[in-house]
Amino acid sequence: MHFDLPAPTMTFDVALEDGARIRVRRHGRANGVRLLFTHGNGFAADAYFPYWHRLLPKFDVLVFDFRNHGQNVPVEPSNHNYAQLTRDLERLLQEVKSRLGEKPTAGIFHSMSARTAMKHAVEIGARWDALVLFDPPDVPPPGHPLHAAMELFENRLTAWALKRRRRFAAIEDLAEEYRQSRVTARWVAGEHDLMARSVLRKSPDGEDYVLVCAPENEAAIYAEAMTLNLWPRASELGVPVMLVGYDPNMKEAPATGAANRALGIEGGYDYSFVENTGHLLQIERPQECVRLTLEFLARCGLA
């Protein structure tokens, strides 16, 4: 299977405070409830197309990548940290409202972006009518039974990212790496190629392809997880929120599945998990993830 993404009905760039820019792509029904959708660390929003294309018949879907990811041009200095990502999200929200007007709006975020949305809601304000957060890898406070496991998990990811290959002679080379990995074995057919196309860009020297998100930027986000002190109760976000984790019962599952279940229970969240999935559940079982999304948005009066 080969995924061909539809042409957006509108694109516009959001200028950020340091000169970086975020490209927003509009799809779906312009008169529908507005959904803002984005990705996890080191990935890109286009790669989640198996999930978000199912929302297009009913919703006004704005797809975007965070700085130094996806369709955006990486910047130097990268300012690649959660404080900056949180301010970037606020700037993007204000620009969307300025350009397209006020209307009911929900945010759909995964992993890094879900954690950013939580930080944004707690520290800057409740800007949403609802939030759907897929597997944010929040770290419980010291002394929590899962703190040590999450610390080990984030440290391993940091070390892995720093050693990650960044240049490829062809997009197919990265696609093949994905196909050979046990971690990506549950991705839907065609996703390995789509992910490779989404996270690579032509090298500035024109000779090969490079990761849009540089390994050192990806590693910085993993490392910063241990210092965020982000384990909020659902009520602190100030909006209806659903937390969707991957299957915490999966054999040899990383710690985030169990951490999300703990956060869901301890924090009073509307919590669900998707059976037989890992961290990238939206591209492993997209139909089930969309079902949960629609059911929650309907409970919020948004679907």
Q: 122-158, pLDDT tens digit by residue? A: 999 999 999 999 999 999 999 999 999 999 999 999 9
Q: 91 is written with which tokens? A: 């700037």
Residue spans of alpha helices (H) in the chain = 49-52, 82-100, 112-123, 147-162, 171-180, 191-199, 215-224, 255-266, 286-299
Q: How far apart are CA 218 and CA 227, in angstroms?
A: 16
**Nearest alpha-carbon partner for 15 in 24, 6, 7, 25:** 24
| Average pLDDT value for the chain | 96
Q: Is the pLDDT of residue 13 over 80?
A: yes
Stated pTM of the model: 0.97
Return the pLDDT at 205. Answer: 83
Q: Is the pLDDT of residue 254 over 90?
A: no
Render pLDDT for 60-111 as a digit per residue (tens, 0 to 9). Answer: 999 999 999 999 999 999 999 999 999 999 999 999 999 999 999 999 999 9
Assign domain 10-299 to its CATH architecture: 3-Layer(aba) Sandwich (3.40)
Q: How far apart are CA 98 and CA 186, in angstroms?
A: 40
**Nearest alpha-carbon partner for 4 in 188, 158, 135, 194:** 194
Q: How far apart are CA 68 and CA 51, in angstroms?
A: 22
Give 110's contacts (C-beta < 8 A, 6+ positions apart).
Answer: 38, 39, 40, 43, 48, 133, 134, 135, 280, 282
* Most distant CA atoms of the chain, gap in Å: 51
Q: 272 is written with which tokens? A: 């669900």
Return the pLDDT at 250. Answer: 82
Q: How far apart are CA 48 and CA 110, in angstroms?
A: 10
Give 206's contacts (C-beta < 8 A, 6+ positions apart).
Answer: none
| Residue predicted with more confidence, 181 or 205 | 181
The answer to whether 201 and 210 are in contact (CB under 8 A) is yes
CA atoms within 13 A on the CB side of 288: 18
Q: 87 is written with which tokens? A: 């301010």
The answer to whether 211 and 172 are in contact (CB under 8 A) is no
Mean pLDDT of the region 261-270: 97
